[in-house]
């Protein structure tokens, strides 16, 4: 079954994620990115950011809270056994700091029905507690037919 294009524009309820420095360190270690901005508190305090910041790609950690409801959306009914992550695009604005409270929303921005596959793109937008844009991600998934 092709993904119905009527779902373009469907929005998902926002989720607020509290960023903690220990989670940042855990993520930085997992992706073997031991830049002192992420893991060295003394360095971070003296940096222009004044605290531990997250690697830019940490945005996928809170972004995941908006991808999960898309994957489990019964109305959309994606065939998860045929789904792979096809493309990723991320625009970065404000840096993510330890202690931030980040609210993320998502909308299905595109669906394409092709001969052998369907693609679905989810636009995920995150803002910090000051209302400033932190990251806009475009997650494109490919579902084989």
Catalog residues that contact another protein under the rule CB under 8 A: 23, 26-27, 29-33, 35, 37-38, 48-49, 53, 55-57, 60-61, 64, 81, 84-92, 95
CB of 36 to another protein, least distance (A): 11
Of 6 and 116, the one with the shorter C-beta distance to another protein is: 116
Of 23 and 112, the one with the shorter C-beta distance to another protein is: 23
CB of 6 to another protein, least distance (A): 27
Of 4 and 121, the one with the shorter C-beta distance to another protein is: 121
CB of 123 to another protein, least distance (A): 13
Of 4 and 18, the one with the shorter C-beta distance to another protein is: 18
Q: How far apart are CA 111 and CA 39, in angstroms?
A: 39
CB of 117 to another protein, least distance (A): 13
Question: For the chain, what is the HEC assignment?
Answer: CCCCHHHCCCEEEEEEEECCHHHHHHHHHHCCCCCHHHHCHHHHHHCCCCCCECCHHHHHHHHHHHHHHHHCCCCCCCCHHHEEEEEEEEEECCCCECCCEEEEEEEEEEEEECCCEEEEEEEEEEECCCCCEEEEEEEEEEEEC
């Amino acid at each position: 079954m092709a993904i119905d294009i009527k779902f373009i524009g469907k929005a998902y309820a926002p989720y607020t994620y509290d960023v903690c420095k220990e989670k940042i360190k855990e993520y930085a270690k997992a992706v073997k990115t031991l830049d002192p901005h992420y893991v060295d508190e003394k360095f971070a305090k003296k940096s222009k950011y004044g605290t531990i910041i997250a690697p830019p790609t940490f945005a996928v950690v809170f972004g995941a809270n908006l991808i999960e409801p898309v994957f489990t959306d019964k109305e959309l009914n994606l065939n998860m056994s045929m789904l792979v992550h096809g493309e990723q695009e991320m625009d970065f604005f404000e840096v993510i700091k330890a202690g931030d409270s980040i609210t993320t929303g998502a909308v299905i921005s595109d669906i394409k029905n092709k001969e052998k596959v369907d693609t679905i793109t989810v636009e995920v937008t995150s803002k910090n507690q000051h209302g400033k844009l932190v990251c806009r991600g475009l997650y494109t998934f490919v579902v084989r037919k």
